[in-house]
Chain A
Amino acid sequence: MSAPLLTLEGVHTHIGAYHILHGVDLVVPRGELTMLLGRNGAGKTTTLRTIMGLWKASTGRVTFDGRDITAAQTPAIAQAGVAYVPENMGIFADLTVSENMVLAARGAKSAEAIDAKRLDWIFSLFPALKKFWLHPAGLLSGGQKQMLAVARAIVEPRALLLIDEPSKGLAPSIIQNMIVAFRELKGTDTTILLVEQNFNFARQLGDSVAVMDDGRIVHSGAMAELAEDEDLQQKLLGLSLAAHQ
């Protein structure tokens, strides 16, 4: 088995006076989709932001592809191959869909310079983006904005995608489209760490799973095991899959 792409060892994060992460230990296997689950306020978003360098770990170690990135600046982490889709999607509302994509494609100076094959593939995943290519991103619907946010993250090959609650606030049909898109992404050997509260969404996509509570990882293992064990779901998440179907 190859070495994990990302590991967190004993990571503590403080935001001002608040101690949010209390020693997070997490392993993200290469080429897999790892779900990070947990209740509101468990520390999932803080974990992603700490990996991305947006909040610095007070202690502990974050290793990406064998390299210690604990103290690295966010742009350096992004340049190393980590793409981040925040919970609020981080869309530049005043820029067009095309301009949002050009910004995400660091190697491209204009839309014409984006890899055409890759763009075609993205349009096949998210046809709405082609339709509204020259429109201001702020006018898109919530689902379309989420598609744009994910499209930005994959416009150039990245080793690791960090995606925060992509299904939040979306209609069921849009969520189903997202699931199809993530399945296709999984087929490209991209490693994904995906924060999610929708357990049904998580169950359909996850290869492995880590569950957080109170700033710690309280469970990690195969997604299939958790999906089949209602008692464990009840214990860790306070719910069962049946409640989400």
Chain B
Amino acid sequence: MSTSIPAPAAASTDALPRTRLDYIPLLLAPALALIALPLIGSFPTWVTLTIAGLAMGMIIFIIASGLTLVFGLMDILNFGHGVFIALGAFLATTVLGSMADWTASESLWRNLLAVLPAMVVAMGVAGAVGLAFERIIIKPVYGQHLKQILITMGGMIVGEELIKVIWGPQQIPLPLPGGFKGAILLGEAAVEKYRLIAVVIGLAVFASMFWVLARTKLGLLIRAGVQDREMVESLGYRIERLFVGVFVAGSALAGLGGVMWGLYQQNVVPQMGAQVNVLIFIVIIIGGLGSTGGCFIGALLMGLLANYSGFLAPKVALFSNIGLMVCILLWRPQGLYPVAKR
């Protein structure tokens, strides 16, 4: 039997508008970095700030990517997302605290063997709590945005209080493991080891998400569901199961992000979820609600801008995130990569 799958044909573009890659948003982060170079003046300092900005951006992306998928696919405004971040961070204090010998070691491998279980536990518990959160709190308010905002904010307040009950209301230190501390020299630039690790983990998460979304049928279903849920159901797929799966995955990613954010800040407080919530909502609005690629670019822009402005004009850094969002929305009111929805 002859194969019927057509190969890409150059001639086939004749009667169709050309597919244009919308590359301008891809250039924003490199452009921002290039603009910052002469302003900073010192190349090593610029490298240090750039790596720090990318690390911060990657962590924010990990936290925000689940939320943007949940909004895109399920049309749910989950203001309770922050509680999974805090939960992940607090679980890390418990797991890493119980493995003090491993974290105190200067061996990077022993440190990784301590951090890895902390990440796995954080993702597992945050995912499980996410499942209960979706079934009990969110499911009754599908399709009702105002109620979603109210009930998920309420859920976050309850979550925060439960964290206080379990871990106490005070700030808990979350020191970096011994092997994660310090910096390595790239030429004359000192780059903190943990930030490099954060960049690597962030890229791995992004690559995994990209692969799942672009190369698997599950990803195809998620992308289709973001555009038209009803049609996906009409094709015979139980989208509610997909919803729950994506919500659990998003919560687990928030748990992972919480571990990384806690280690980045080196301390955790019960209110950290609410604090980070603002950042991640800015990121997903900048990226275009529902867009993973847009979320990635938005997170990188936010991380880079926060670090550059913190160095160049600390007072400006206080509102750099809001300023970034205003500029992007004035240019593209629906974000960098708006998702086509019915």
Give per-residue flags for B312-342: 1 if the beta carbon is below 8 A from chain A beta carbons, else 0.
0000000000000000000000000001101
Name the distance in Å between B10's Cβ and chain A's nearest Cβ.
Answer: 11
Q: By the criterion CB–CB under 8 Å, are B12 and A92 in contact? A: no
Determine the distance from Cα of A102 to Cα of B5 in the docked complex, in whole angstroms: 12
Chain A interface: which of B38-46, B116-124, B219-227, B297-305?
A: B219-227
| Residues on A with beta carbons closer than 8 Å to the beta carbon of B244 | none
Q: By the criterion CB–CB under 8 Å, are B227 and A86 in contact? A: no
Give per-residue flags for A91-109: 1 if the beta carbon is below 8 A from chain B beta carbons, else 0.
0111100110011101001
Q: Name which residue of chain A comes closest to B8, CB basis.
A: A134
One of B6, B13, B217, B231 near A133 (C-beta < 8 A): B6
One of B1, B12, B235 near A152 (C-beta < 8 A): B235
A74-B234, A94-B339 given; A116·B4 CB < 8 A: yes
Q: By the criterion CB–CB under 8 Å, are A94 and B227 in contact? A: yes
| Residues on A with beta carbons closer than 8 Å to the beta carbon of B16 | 132, 135, 139-140
Number of residues from B at the complex interface, CB < 8 A: 34
Q: By the criterion CB–CB under 8 Å, are A116 and B2 in contact? A: yes
- With most chain B CB atoms within 10 A of its CB, the pick from A75, A79, A106, A140 is A75
A-B pairs with beta carbons under 8 A, tally: 102
| Residues on B with beta carbons closer than 8 Å to the beta carbon of A120 | 2, 4
Q: Name which residue of chain B comes closest to A116, CB basis.
A: B4
Q: By the criterion CB–CB under 8 Å, are B237 and A116 in contact? A: no
Q: By the criterion CB–CB under 8 Å, are B230 and A75 in contact? A: no
Q: By the criterion CB–CB under 8 Å, are A102 and B217 in contact? A: yes
B181 within 8 A of A: no
Chain A positions within 8 Å of B, measured between CB atoms, are 52, 54, 73-75, 78-79, 84, 86, 88, 90, 92-95, 98-99, 102-104, 106, 109-112, 114, 116-117, 119-120, 123, 130-136, 138-140, 152
11 contacts between A and B (CB under 8 A): A73-B238, A75-B239, A92-B224, A94-B227, A95-B223, A103-B220, A103-B221, A103-B235, A133-B5, A133-B6, A139-B17
